[in-house]
Amino acid sequence: MYSDGMSTSERLIESTRELLWERGYVGTSPKAILERAGAGQGSMYHHFKGKPDLALAAIRRTAEEMRAAAERVLGGPGTPYERIEAYLRRERDVLRGCPVGRLTMDPDIVASDELRAPVDETLDWLRGRIAGIVEEGRAQGHFASRLDAGEVAAAVVATVQGGYVLARASGSPAAFDAGVRGLLSLLGRAESPTR
Amino acid sequence: MYSDGMSTSERLIESTRELLWERGYVGTSPKAILERAGAGQGSMYHHFKGKPDLALAAIRRTAEEMRAAAERVLGGPGTPYERIEAYLRRERDVLRGCPVGRLTMDPDIVASDELRAPVDETLDWLRGRIAGIVEEGRAQGHFASRLDAGEVAAAVVATVQGGYVLARASGSPAAFDAGVRGLLSLLGRAESPTR
DNA sequence: GTCTATATACCGATAGAC
DNA sequence: GTCTATCGGTATATAGAC
């Protein structure tokens, strides 16, 4: 529950972001949002058209933050392999899952083009960003030239998203880490010996 | 809606399986189950203790089916690489997601040890089964000996689970296929040249 | 075993006072 | 802008007739 200097509309968005992450869209009720934000019904319907509208604002902000966090690592120093490794190994609240990716399992999100759009755009951007790095590595001779950069990037993003699934199923982050190490071992092996 | 020779309790379980796949646990109401099964409230509470009890029966059956389907491919003919490839490329209703894996994004499933158990056991079995095949391939010299079979298996399972996320985000199975091809290209490259 | 009736709570939204 | 009151509908469960 927020009691800071945040405006009511800010508190509503932040509360919604948390609840969407914890419980998804279907599992999040306006009532729960209002309680956490310390606001009444009226405030929510004054600032937003309804639950979908508020969720959209929350999702957009979460997507934006995830992009920025990924860019900080992917755009950092190091060889292409090192930057992808840094992304895969970056600190994560593994058991909470991905605040963006988890929304794809929400039927009401997938059913709405508007709500799905920021999710799609974010994961697509991530895939493209990583593909560029793989391509860069290929050009520099770090990766085998027969690899398809877009496909490898898809495998990288999928391993992360699937790692959350394995971790949450077992109740431990270990499975996530195992998947990441497995992928890195395959990727490392793909480094071209001709470099 | 089932009107076959199925018993009422069978129809309830099958309806629940469908709805859990489509809408998850939180998004599935007893009312929706009853409508699809063509049964009344009384029938459900006669055969099951409540929603969690019925869901548990449904999840167990789905988990069992998924295991059997995976085993049919993984236990089939071919080299270790070919069997893993067959698993990754096997026909899937990609946009519907994994009926077992998707449950890990359901807060009420993860919060219940009883409901989570069949999910955990299934994914863990799958990982172990694939690890055995990777290990077999390593022993036969098909895979590099420096690979950790358990880690590679985790990456394989994670790629599948994450592939569903990417596909559902974009509304197209293409991203799933791309991730699979990316992983296979890395795995293929890992085949030992000494075989 | 199956049905309908009923119960209490919550869902998402609207109305209108302040 | 924020609040409370209210709405029709649903969630999950129980009671009890048949």
Q: What is the pLDDT of residues B79-90, one digit of tens each?
A: 999 999 999 999
Q: Give contacts of B152 with chain A, Cβ < 8 Å.
A: 182, 185-186
Distance from CA of B5 to the nearest CA of A (A): 31
Nearest by Cα to B159 from B139, B182, B142: B182
Strand, coil or helix: B100: coil
Instruction: Output the 3-class SS for chain A.
Output: CCCCCCCHHHHHHHHHHHHHHHHCCCCCCHHHHHHHHCCCHHHHHHHCCCHHHHHHHHHHHHHHHHHHHHHHHHCCCCCHHHHHHHHHHCCCCHHHCCCCHHHHHCHHHHCCHHHHHHHHHHHHHHHHHHHHHHHHHHHCCCECCCCCHHHHHHHHHHHHHHHHHHHHHHCCCHHHHHHHHHHHHHHHHCECCCC
Contact across the interface for B123 and A189, Cβ inside 8 Å? no
* pLDDT tens-digit series, residues A8-29: 999 999 999 999 999 999 999 9
Instruction: Give the global pTM.
Output: 0.96
pLDDT at A190 over 90: no
* pLDDT tens-digit series, residues B144-186: 999 999 999 999 999 999 999 999 999 999 999 999 999 999 9
Tell me what percent of the residues of chain B surpass a pLDDT of 90.
Answer: 93
Nearest protein residue to nucleotide D12 (CA to C1' distance) is B30
Q: How far is CA B117 from the centre of its chain?
A: 14
pLDDT at A172 over 80: yes
Q: Give pLDDT, residue A3.
A: 60
Q: Give pLDDT, residue B5.
A: 85
Q: State whether the beta carbon of B150 lies below 7 angstroms from any atom of strand D.
A: no
Closest nt by CA–C1' to B41 = C3
Strand, coil or helix: B191: strand
Per-residue exposure over B134-144, b if at least 16 CB sit within 10 Å of its own CB, e if not: bbebbeeebbb
Q: What is the largest CA-CA distance in chain A?
A: 66
Q: Give pLDDT, residue B10.
A: 98
Q: Across the interface, which of A105, A120, A187 has its CB nearest the CB of B186?
A: A187
* Mean pLDDT score, A120-147: 97
Confidence of residue B53 (pLDDT cuts 50, 70, 90): very high
* Mean pLDDT score, A176-183: 98
Q: What is the CATH number of domain A8-189?
A: 1.10.357.10
- Which letter does DSSP use for residue B173 in this model? T
Q: Give contacts of B163 with chain A, Cβ < 8 Å.
A: 154, 158, 162
* pLDDT tens-digit series, residues A34-78: 999 999 999 999 999 999 999 999 999 999 999 999 999 999 999
* Mean pLDDT score, A69-91: 98
Distance from CA of B7 to the nearest CA of A (A): 29
Confidence of residue B194 (pLDDT cuts 50, 70, 90): very low
- Contact (CB, 8 A) for B94 and B164: yes
Q: What is B108-126 written as a DSSP string?
A: HHHT-HHHHHHHHHHHHHH
Contact across the interface for B23 and A26, Cβ inside 8 Å? yes
pLDDT at A30 over 70: yes
B81's CB contacts (< 8 A; 6+ apart) are: B137, B142, B143, B187, B188, B191
Q: State whether the beta carbon of B107 lies below 7 angstroms from any atom of strand D.
A: no
Distance from CA of A145 to the nearest CA of B (A): 11
* pLDDT tens-digit series, residues B54-104: 999 999 999 999 999 999 999 999 999 999 999 999 999 999 999 999 999
B interface test, pick of A105, A121, A134 with most B CB neighbours within 10 Å: A105
d(CA B45, CA B165): 35
- Contact (CB, 8 A) for A148 and B181: yes
pLDDT at A195 over 70: no
pLDDT at B195 over 60: no
- Contact (CB, 8 A) for A33 and A22: no
Chain D positions with a protein C-beta closer than 7 Å: 1-6, 10-17
Q: How far is CA B89 from the centre of its chain?
A: 14
pLDDT at B112 over 90: yes
C1’ D6 / CA B20, Å: 34
Contact across the interface for A124 and B26, Cβ inside 8 Å? no
Strand, coil or helix: B64: helix
d(CA B106, CA A131): 31
Q: Give contacts of A114 with chain B, Cβ < 8 Å.
A: none
Confidence of residue A189 (pLDDT cuts 50, 70, 90): low
Mean pLDDT, chain B, integer:
95
Confidence of residue A5 (pLDDT cuts 50, 70, 90): confident
Closest-approach residue (CA) in chain A for B131: A182
Confidence of residue A139 (pLDDT cuts 50, 70, 90): very high
Confidence of residue B191 (pLDDT cuts 50, 70, 90): low
Q: Which protein residues have any CB–strand C distance under 7 A?
A: A 28-32, 41-42, 45, 50-52; B 7-9, 38-43, 45-47
- Contact (CB, 8 A) for A162 and A116: no
